[in-house]
Amino acid sequence: MVAVLVLLSLLFLWSLVSERLTRWSITAPIAFAAAGVVLTGGDRPAVAFDMDTHTFRTCVELVLAVMLFTDATETRDYQRLGGSVGESRLLGIALPGSVVLAVLFGALLFPGTNGWLLAVAALVVMPMDLAPALTFLRDERVPLRVRAALNIEGGFNDGLVSPLFVFCVANLVTAEGDSFGDLVLSALKGAGYAVLVGVALGFLAAWLVRTCLAAGWAAPAGLRLAGLALPFLAYTAAVPLGGNGFVAAFVTGVCYAHTAHPLGDDHLGLVYDISHLMALAVWFTFGALIAEEFAHGIDLPVMAYALLVLTVARIVPVAAALTGTGFSRAERGAIGWFGSRGVTSIVFAALAYSRLPDDDAAFVVNVTCATVLLSVVLHGVTTEPAARWFARRQRRDSVPAG
């Protein structure tokens, strides 16, 4: 109860001073993470924080379900670009390549570590989250197609990673008698049931919303509650059937957004607000993790791993995947560099912490904290210089030769 009181008080105070602090480059993730460090650190913390409880695990799973739903439903006006922004290459080529490189770097820096554990760590730290680089994504000095590529990739990569994450975690905590084939079959069944639930619920919900709205039985403002209920419905409907609740929430969002698009985003405003509130709570949790994990410093291999997954493991696959497209070298570099890490990685790490043995969980949390912390710093300080560079380049290109 104390933690809830603290979070609500922080939310109220942040709403009063957010505009002023943002001008000083103090974003919501930085503010709430710093609060988590201050209030949960030390021998006698002001807020006791226990990640081992069943309640905490359930809350984290619901946070991820809502995040996956909102990522899938969030639509932006990129139609004037008139074509693809490389999203299929980013998701189908660059993302798998990044995960493979992260596993290889883990094997190099942490010799003797279980391969499945390295895979879990890679799947946790590689999905991008736009929060640390949000100002870059909103800056109109940055080419629209660069922002579009990052937004679309950020909306879909966590949905693609989540079933693989669940599968790799299951291999680390395999019950006696369960073979690799059994786990593969279980994962496929779970994904299959989840897709069926997501498709059925997403299309049915969209049809019902349009029908009731046209008949005058509902108003757009009232449908905000319906939008909020959908990710929770998807998760709770899939799990009892043996389906993957995360995949179900994501597929529901994809189907619902596709068919309900003509209604606009207003009826989804409430679920977006709740998702943002949950994200702030996750950043507070991140601060608590930092206070615990780095109380005695950061090991050099962990910091090296974080640096490699943010740079080489991200930039090289992105540059290779987008080669031959309409992106310039500078634009490919910007897309590769601004693959920031944030809420998605923190949530995956919290799930790993609640499911894995202590030593394995500690390893995943440690590398995740280092990666996200480094991302917040590096991407935070480079957003403005990068936007200025694009602005200068645009002015130079617009000057007629003569």
Q: Give the confidence band of 298 by pLDDT, cuts at 50, 70, 90.
A: confident
Residues 216/273, Cβ–Cβ less than 8 Å: no
Residue 75 has pLDDT above 70, yes or no: no
pLDDT of residue 54 exceeding 80: no
Mean pLDDT in residue range 223-249: 87
Averaged pLDDT for residues 29-44: 78
Of 33-37, 95-99, 266-270, which gets the smallest average pLDDT? 266-270
d(CA 151, CA 347): 19
**97-106, 135-144, 232-241, 251-260, range with greatest mean pLDDT:** 97-106
Q: Is the pLDDT of residue 99 over 90?
A: yes
Is there a contact between 39 and 45 (Cβ–Cβ < 8 Å)? yes
**Residues contacting 349, CB < 8 A, separation 6+:** 124, 289, 364, 365, 368, 369
- Of the two residues 28 and 336, the one the predictor is more confident about is 336
Least confident of 6-10, 48-52, 205-209, 338-342: 48-52
Segments making up each domain of the chain, as ranges: 27-41+51-393
Contact between 125 and 110 (Cβ < 8 Å):
no
Is the pLDDT at 402 greater than 50? The verdict is no
Is residue 107's pLDDT more than 90?
Answer: yes
Residue 241: predicted pLDDT: 86
DSSP state of 298: -
Q: What is the average per-residue pLDDT within 324-338?
A: 89
Provide the percentage of residues in the chain whose pLDDT is more than 90: 22
Indicate the range of 85-89, 113-117, 134-138, 312-316 predicted with least confidence: 134-138
* Residue 120 identity (one-letter amino acid): V
| Average pLDDT of every residue of the chain | 82
Instruction: Count other Cβ atoms within 10 Å, centred on residue 57.
Output: 16
The answer on pLDDT for 19 being more than 70 is: yes
Per-residue pLDDT at 200 = 92
- Enter the tokens of residue 134: 């949000």
The pLDDT score that the predictor gives to residue 84 is: 67
Task: Give the DSSP letter of residue 359.
Answer: H
Tokens of 128: 């991008």
Q: What is the pLDDT of residue 387?
A: 84
The secondary structure of 69-92 as a DSSP string is HHHHH-----GGG-S--SHHHIII
Q: If you average pLDDT over each of 80-94, 176-190, 222-236, 387-401, which comes out highest?
A: 222-236
pLDDT-derived band at 53 (thresholds 50, 70, 90) equals: low
Tokens linked to 204: 């049915």
SS (H, E, C) the chain: CHHHHHHHHHHHHHHHHHHHHHHCCCCHHHHHHHHHHHHHCCCCCCCCCCCCCHHHHHHHHHHHHHHHHHHHHCCCCCHHHCCCCCHHHHHHHHHHHHHHHHHHHHHHHCCCCCHHHHHHHHHHHCCCCCHHHHHHHHCCCCCHHHHHHHHHHHHHHHHHHHHHHHHHHHHHCCCCCCCHHHHHHHHHHHHHHHHHHHHHHHHHHHHHHHHHHHCCCCCCCCCHHHHHHHHHHHHHHHHHHCCCHHHHHHHHHHHHHHHHHHHCCHHHHHHHHHHHHHHHHHHHHHHHHHHHHCCCCCCHHHHHHHHHHHCHHHHHHHHHHHCCCCCCHHHHHHHHHCCCCCHHHHHHHHHHHHHCCHHHHHHHHHHHHHHHHHHHHHHHHHHHHHHHHHHHHHHHHHCCCC
Q: What does pTM read for this prediction?
A: 0.83
Residue 97's pLDDT is what? 95
CATH topology of domain 27-41+51-393: Na+/H+ antiporter like fold (1.20.1530)
